Chains A and B, each alone.
Chain A
Amino acid sequence: MITHLLALLKREIWEHRAIYVTPIAIAGIVVLGTLTALMFAGDFAKELDVAMFGAQNIAGETERRAVLSGLFFGSSGLFFLALGILTVFYSLDSLYAERKDKSILFWRSLPVTDAETVVSKLLTALVVLPAATIVAVMATHIMNLILTSIWVSMKGGDAGLLIWGSVSLFSDWLSLLIIVYATAIWMSPFIGWFLFVSAYSKRSPFMLAFLPLVALPMLEGIFMRSSEFAQVVWGRLGSIPIYSGIDLESLFDEDRFELSDQSLSVLSYLDIGHFLSSPAMWAGVVICGLLSFGAIYVRRFRDDS
């Protein structure tokens, strides 16, 4: 069972090389960007010397942590955007391509059930794709820290204190892990929908997947003068119930905002209990499960001859 599943997951990575090529490419771009920025930063030598002196002698550890965590999550944005796009295209292709090139007959000639196949594709979208992104983000993080340390040392700064003493590696990484997987679970009904469409669609799964998502809210608006569907479906994209207690106004209000270790750790803004007790999250998981069953059913019963 486990060897089967591993073989099936490996198979997905062989077929869809973008799963690892994309995060590696983005990591390359981000690291190159850092390198370029550090090289050009030499033009502001005097200002930098002052800033570094300030960071070393006046700013506290908390401020330094804040800056490094901010840089870390800031540079992850591109990865998350790519992960979203990759997941959409992967899920839509996963059960469609094998029918298009007729290799489905070969896959089904081996002792693997349709359920195992569909589950392997679901796990690829929910677990493997995010994992590849997380690893790439971590590697980028480390590379950037190393490059910056070298640069700080060359400028005569104390990299041990400024960089390594101030970075919250594990707290940041744990936050990253939680955010990415919570998002994957939260978005799972979309993945289930894409897998179902991928198994069902005779041609152009992309159109079939997005047309109802766009047309239904419009029809609802015209005929029922309401926007329930749009709120539930599209509203889901921006409402993941993992963050808590972030009061954006207070972050920008200097009088109310107090800098403390607690207020600067991303981890402290994540509320796993709130996420796990969210009915909307569980409803999404159930919908994802039902749509995946639909995909298994279609793959098993449809005769394409």
Chain B
Amino acid sequence: MTSLVSAQGVSKQFGSFTAVDNVNFEIESGRILGLIGPNGAGKTTLLKALLGLTDCEGQLSVMGLDPFKQRKKLMQNICFIADVAVLPRWIKVSQLLDYVEAIHPNFSRARAEELLQQTKIMARSKVKELSKGMVTQLHLSIIMSIDAKLLILDEPTLGLDIIFRKEFYANLLNDYFDEERTILVTTHQVEEIENLLTDVMFIDEGRILLDSPMEALAETYVEVLASGENADKARGLGPISENSLFGKSVMIFEGVAREHLEKYGELRTPHVADIFVAKVKGARQ
């Protein structure tokens, strides 16, 4: 496997505010990485740096290119959906296809038209006449018709209803993703995408709190449901978080072997969202 993205000591300052603070990570090709972080954690800034939309300190390489200096070349192999609102409202669907076809060397118009056939979007419609969900469908249809190595999605389903959200990820996985491609996605709704991720990265206050493959997550993190005396004993092993549920304590452990914990109660693999909350709270204390 080769590293598609490599970041070493990447930082970005806005005045005295540090949006991204000395971040190091690698993304290998063929992975689906979820970048999870609260608002203002530095997710969008980091994505912008990867896309060459903003400059930054440190070493950042995407497909062997410097994103900021070689943005045009980079954009031939990266696709990007920022938010549902970014398609220009005045443009007609057919014009949009004409434009992307002329600009993008890896765009297949036939494929885009085929994908649009499956929706209610008309070629003569203007973007402003489409519903929010349809605009996302349109954007996704264009993106999926571009043969790109890296797809970056920043809150792609924000403001969409549950049916569109499910459909969005289903289309992405079934019609787009393969070993040649890599997807980097940020979202608030972790639970909706956690079963399609291969890797997960937590970010808060500009720092990476966790960077792990999903399989390893299940090995490293264990959730114990314990009560009474068992709960006290388990607590002695140093859980990273504890909540109570129906009179039982729910504790999450990091790096504690399962055989040490199973005698105290029922073991489960915690949800990504729960690990995330535990890590963020832990880091902020």
Chain A residues in contact with chain B, CB under 8 A? 3-4, 6-7, 10-11, 14-15, 98, 101-103, 105-113, 301, 303, 305
Contact = CB atoms under 8 A, between A and B. Distances in A.
Contact of A15 (B44, B85, B88): B88
B83 A105 contact: yes
B119 to A, nearest CB: 19
A46 to B, nearest CB: 56
A111 B76 CA distance: 5
A6 B53 contact: no
A108 B91 CA distance: 16
B48 A111 contact: no
8 contacts: A14-B90, A15-B88, A106-B87, A106-B139, A109-B79, A109-B80, A112-B75, A305-B54
B95 to A, nearest CB: 5
**B interface, size bucket:** 35 or more
Contacts of B102: 3-4, 6-7, 10
Question: Which of B54, B91, B103 is packed against the most chain A CB atoms within 10 Å?
Answer: B103
B88 A101 contact: yes
A303 B54 contact: yes
Interface string B138-156: 0100000000000000000
B100 interface: yes
The DSSP consensus for interface residues of chain A is helix
A169 B172 CA distance: 60
A112 B72 contact: yes
B71 interface: yes
Contacts of B92: 14
A200 to B, nearest CB: 17
A111 B51 contact: no
B99 A10 contact: yes
B87 A111 contact: no
Given A6-B102, A103-B86, A106-B86, 8 more contacts: A15-B90, A98-B88, A109-B82, A110-B103, A111-B72, A111-B74, A113-B71, A303-B48
Contacts of B79: 109
A4 B51 CA distance: 20
Interface of B is mostly: mixed
B89 interface: yes
B53 A102 contact: no
Contacts of B90: 14-15
Contacts of B111: none
Nearest to A104: B86
B233 to A, nearest CB: 48
A7 B99 contact: yes
B113 interface: no
Contact of B75 (A7, A10, A109): A109
A138 B285 CA distance: 75
Could you say which of B79, B82, B89 has the most chain A C-beta atoms within 10 Å of its C-beta?
B82
A111 B73 contact: yes
A110 B92 CA distance: 17
Given A101-B89, A105-B83, A111 B104 contact: yes
Nearest to B47: A305
Contacts of B91: 14-15
Contacts of B266: none
A98 B45 CA distance: 20
Contacts of B139: 106
A112 B98 CA distance: 15
A102 B104 CA distance: 21
B50 to A, nearest CB: 12
B86 A113 contact: no
B60 to A, nearest CB: 15
Given A3-B102, A109-B75, A113-B72, A103 B87 contact: yes
Contacts of A105: 53, 80, 82-83, 86
